[in-house]
Amino acid sequence: MSDRLQKVLAHAGVASRRASEKLILTGHVRVNGKIITTLGAKVEPTDRIEVDHHPIKLEDPVYFVLNKPRGVITSATDEKDRKTVLDYFKHKVSERIYPVGRLDYDTSGVLLLTNDGQLDFQLTHPKHHVPKTYLAKVEGIPDENALEQLRTGVRLPDHQRSAPAEVRQLANVGQHEARGLLELTIFEGHNHEVKNMLQAVGHPVERLKRTAFAGIDLGGLEPGQWRPLRKREVRNLLEISEAKE
């Protein structure tokens, strides 16, 4: 059964689907000895596919959740030699995995990692509206007007309007600190979106933690700890992915 070349590369763990598309467009991929630079080109299971003259090796898909600590880079490598999320998996996972989306350097919490590039694409593309829940400690105590703005959408620095978020105020942090604690669920995936939304309503973020992503939560993991996803969790993610096709 034929399939799109970038999808096959992603499923083989070569890179995410978007990164696989870049490899194709820049001439790094050959099929049966011929360089392919057209996105959407179809390949057969019997075709020989090479990336930079190295035949791809199909891997079984694997899925993990990490409680990313603050001060860790969501990347495979870092030019400043800072700790990355993949450092936690060194010598423990043989497959070539990568993070699903990103968390800022100073943001902690739920981060999925996989070698399933198609799933990565479906879960991270903004148009797919996958839920992401955050716990935010903010400056000041947001009033009902600020909460309503978050629920209906606010103007962001790029002049776009954020999609409506689900928001509830959990508590004030310290009687004399004038700090609020909010739980927000958003359905887009733009860079720094939660921080930008809260900045826009006058309550800058002091600390941010992602508590759930696509229905996966931390389940008691301490910062820096990780675990394979359970079969039920993988099945739920694949059902979300298939629904977004």
Dihedral over Cα of 87, 189, 170, 113: its sign: negative
Q: Give the CA angle between residues 147, 153, 154 to the nearest 5°.
A: 85
Q: How close are the terminal C-alpha atoms of the chain, in Å?
A: 17
Selection from 142, 96, 132 nearest residue 240 by Cα: 132
Which residue in 60, 81, 87, 104 is the catalytic one? 104
Cα–Cα–Cα angle for 66, 134, 234, nearest 5°?
Answer: 45
User: Would you call 104 a catalytic residue per the annotation?
Assistant: yes
List, in sequence order, the alpha helices (H) in 56-191: 117-124, 144-152
Cα gap 132→231, rounded to integer Å: 21
CA distance 93 to 79: 23
Which amino acid belongs to residue 13? Answer: G
Residue 196, classed as helix, strand or coil, is helix
* 19 CB neighbour count, 10 Å cutoff: 16
Helix (H), strand (E) at residue 9: helix 5-11
Q: Which residues are catalytic?
A: 104
